[in-house]
Structure 1
Amino acid sequence: MPRLSGDLIVAVCRTLPLGLLGAAGGTGLLMAGLSRTTGEAGEWLALPLLRVAILAFAMGLVFLLDDPARHTTATVPTPRPVRIALRVALVVPVAVAWWTAALLLVPQELRPPVADITLEAAAAFVLAVAAAVVAVRRSDITRPGPRLAAGLLTSAMLVLLFWPGRWALLVPVRDDRWAAAHDRWAVGLIGAVLVGVLGAGEPVRRWSWRMMPGR
């Protein structure tokens, strides 16, 4: 297994989108904190606000693999799966700390079941990173983050507006479908992990018009 040098860790740290993550995280914490100012409406607004906070931070995570020097670092001896794993490992403590703060900003009496809402957050965060992994594998774009963020926001709106009720994901706490919805979140989390792991490898071959015979 390739050894991680201090220079590699420092170099990866310098390329992390800390500004974007900070902006997304700050927006998310602001959303979560609004549950303290909603008065009597807080009981039914706390969960939607926390979900908006999750979406905000996930939109920051889609920028995790943006790297203007991507085509230069592709030639380094450290394999891409290791570089991706290092980026993810460096951001995991940030995500955990952010999520803890977001939960604490919601008053305890308004806080949804912690294990279930944490499952939602984990699925959203892993899905965001998996999308970035797939985008990097399937294209030569150095900064897929903006497109992925737009796609994530659009997808969230489509799920909210058109997702079939029998497969509901975003349900209120007292809804009879709450447990079934979180079974689906668990399946989504496992699927996102698999997509991310399988997508992190080096492409076996890149097809383009230049590779076609006779060209």
Structure 2
Amino acid sequence: MRVVIPDLVRPVWRTLPWRALSAAGLLGLLLAAAPAAVGAEPDRWQTLTLLRGVALTGALGLAFLLDDPARHLTAPVPTRRPLRQALRVALVAPLAALWWTAVLLLVPSASRPPAGDITLEAAVLVVLALAGAATAVRLTDEARPGPSIAAALLLTAVLAPLLAPESWALFVTPDDPRWPAAHDRWAVVLGAAAVVWGVCGPEPLGRRRGRRAHAAGGPA
């Protein structure tokens, strides 16, 4: 295992969707810096909405993280898919953390919501994107599920505030007494999305056997 992981780093790094990640990251930074750039002083609700939009932008970029043009070539190799996916996440995670830190520092501090709570919301969006991508990879043969997952995530982000029941409010403001309870719910969503991601990580047994047989020259 110690030998396999270093051998995988370079090819995995080359296949990461840098164009989508860079575009989302740059757009997010521009959005976060916009109030300071124009001398605006947004209120707390406006800053919260801005940060939620930036978090969504980052998650849309990360929806492409599991896109792998070489997916059908790497499926038969001894290294399991969960390890390959975890490596993709591990390579991007430090950059994503630095990006989010920069976003929080760029928005006006006077109206910035609690950093831990808004970071939890951002983490939920990221894990939802990755769980959706992992599900698409597991259930289909699509090598690039990113566009469809990004579209689904965007649609969910638009509809969720409209369709969520009042008793399960998620999109509240920091001065709302429901803010702590809402973030307990965000944590539940995070856990559920992480479970889905974990369940959908491994290659289905039948498909794995078929691809190994195909790689060996046998019947698929």
Same fold (TM over 0.5): yes
Is residue 41–residue 108 contact of structure 2 (8 Å, CA) maintained in 1? no
CA distance, structure 2, for counterparts of residue 11 and residue 184 of structure 1: 38
CA distance, structure 1, for counterparts of residue 166 and residue 60 of structure 2: 25
Within a 5 Å distance, the mapping from 1:9-24 to structure 2 comes to 9-24=9-24
| Equivalent position amino acid for 1:35 in 2 | P
Corresponding residue number in structure 2 for 1:72:
73
| Equivalent position amino acid for 2:16 in 1 | L
Corresponding residue number in structure 1 for 2:182:
181
Gaps of 5+ in 2: 208-220
Q: Does 1:165 align with 2:166?
A: yes
SS at match of 1:109: helix
Q: Pick closer, same or farther for the CA change 1:33–1:192 going to 2, 3 Å.
A: same
Within a 5 Å distance, the mapping from 1:7-156 to structure 2 comes to 7-36=7-36, 37=38, 39-156=40-157
CA distance, structure 1, for counterparts of residue 117 and residue 131 of structure 2: 21
Is residue 12–residue 88 contact of structure 2 (8 Å, CA) maintained in 1? yes
Is residue 64–residue 87 contact of structure 1 (8 Å, CA) maintained in 2? yes
Is residue 126–residue 192 contact of structure 1 (8 Å, CA) maintained in 2? yes
CA distance, structure 1, for counterparts of residue 56 and residue 62 of structure 2: 10
Is residue 119–residue 186 contact of structure 1 (8 Å, CA) maintained in 2? yes
Q: Pick closer, same or farther for the CA change 1:13–1:50 going to 2, 3 Å.
A: same
Over the matched positions of the two proteins, sequence identity in percent amounts to 55
The one-character-per-residue Cα deviations of 1:99-158 (angstroms, maximum 9, x if unpaired) are: 101100112111100111111111111111111111101100111100011101001010
CA distance, structure 1, for counterparts of residue 43 and residue 184 of structure 2: 26
SS at match of 1:104: helix
Question: CA offset at residue 204 of structure 1?
Answer: 2.1
CA distance, structure 1, for counterparts of residue 5 and residue 153 of structure 2: 34
Question: CA offset at residue 40 of structure 1?
Answer: 4.4
| Equivalent position amino acid for 1:128 in 2 | A
SS at match of 2:111: coil
Question: CA offset at residue 2 of structure 1?
Answer: 6.9
SS at match of 1:205: helix
Moved >4 Å (runs of 4+): none
The one-character-per-residue Cα deviations of 1:166-213 (angstroms, maximum 9, x if unpaired) are: 21111111111111110000111111111111111121235xxxxxxx
CA distance, structure 2, for counterparts of residue 203 and residue 4 of structure 1: 22
| Mean Cα deviation higher: 45-54 or 195-204 | 195-204
Corresponding residue number in structure 1 for 2:211:
none
Is residue 34–residue 49 contact of structure 1 (8 Å, CA) maintained in 2? no
Gaps of 5+ in 1: 207-215
SS at match of 2:206: coil
How many pairs are equivalent? 206
User: What TM-score, normalized to structure 1?
Assistant: 0.90
User: What TM-score, normalized to structure 2?
Assistant: 0.88
RMSD: 1.5
Question: CA offset at residue 79 of structure 1?
Answer: 1.0
Question: CA offset at residue 55 of structure 1?
Answer: 0.3
